[in-house]
Amino acid sequence: MSLGSFVGDAKSLPLRPLAAGAESPQSTRKSHVRSNPTAFIGIILIACGAFAQSADKNTRVDRILILKSAHTMTLENSGQPLKTYKVALGGQPVGAKKQQGDHKTPEGVYIIDAKNPHSQFYEALHLSYPNSEDRTQARKLGVSPGGDVEIHGLGKKYGWIGAGHRLSDWTDGCIAVTNEEIEEIFRLVPTGTPVDIRP
């Protein structure tokens, strides 16, 4: 269970006032918090929850893990998952990208080498594909490895589609999320973040 879900559960704790006459005359000066441990714990956890939510807004991602077979992208900090998104991939989602135009999403370790707030796909994080291994492989095959692989949104024109875009893999080899999701990702992920893309 993550801290966020734990705090979320804590917010649902019943904060009931004591029933009339529940306290003896000797305990009338006791505070509601002291006489109701559940309420006390709930208040503390809610306070912690407010702090956690505030801290989360300032958290920066230090690694992105993409599992192509699961169609998931997880943002991580210090080895701990922060948030996981469902994604759409290249039109040929199985197998690593070999050459330009094969509609495959790469597999390997890259970095976010640029951020484009004015992408045609709304906002985009550019990956350092092709890396040296990709270039070597393409040379052996006598082809161009291609480029311009990004994590991006849907664009202003198609933002209304929302999560429905995930019904099929439609990109030319990129990783796509909704416009609302890319706004969050764009804010949390700095340039230089490693991206591990696995089959």
CATH of the domain at 127: 2.40.440.10
The better pLDDT of the pair 13, 80 is held by 80
Provide the whole-model pTM. Answer: 0.71
The CA–CA distances, whole Å, from 187 to 79, 90, 98, 115, 144 equal 19, 24, 31, 10, 32
C-alpha–C-alpha distance, residues 2 and 52, integer Å = 11
87, 183: one domain: yes
The region, left, alpha or beta by phi > 0 then psi within -120 to 50, assigned to residue 72 is beta
Are the beta carbons of 152 and 119 closer than 8 angstroms? yes
* pLDDT given for residue 65 in this prediction: 98
* pLDDT given for residue 117 in this prediction: 97
* pLDDT given for residue 11 in this prediction: 39
C-alpha–C-alpha distance, residues 3 and 49, integer Å = 8
**pLDDT per position as a tens digit, 166-178:** 999 999 999 999 9
Instruction: Give how many domains the chain has, as a whole number.
Output: 2
C-alpha–C-alpha distance, residues 19 and 54, integer Å = 35
The last residue of a domain, from among 58, 81, 97: 58
98, 127: one domain: yes
**pLDDT per position as a tens digit, 57-75:** 567 899 999 999 999 999 9
* pLDDT given for residue 58 in this prediction: 65
**Residue 195 pLDDT level (bands cut at 50, 70, 90):** very high
Q: Which of 173, 187, 178, 195 is nearest to 59 (CA)?
A: 187
Average pLDDT over residues 156-171: 96
90, 172: one domain: yes
Beta carbons within 8 Å of 60's beta carbon, 6+ residues apart: 77, 188, 189, 190
Q: What is the largest CA-CA distance in the chain?
A: 90
Neighbours of 151 (CB within 10 A): 27
* pLDDT given for residue 9 in this prediction: 37
Report whether pLDDT(114) > 70.
Answer: yes
54, 122: one domain: no
Domain enclosing residue 18, as ranges:
3-58
For residue 4, the surrounding DSSP H or E stretch is helix 3-11
The last residue of a domain, from among 58, 78, 94: 58
35, 69: one domain: no
* pLDDT given for residue 60 in this prediction: 84
Report whether pLDDT(13) > 70.
Answer: no
Judged by DSSP in three states, 53 sits in helix
16, 89: one domain: no
11, 81: one domain: no
**pLDDT per position as a tens digit, 17-48:** 434 444 444 443 333 334 444 444 343 333 33
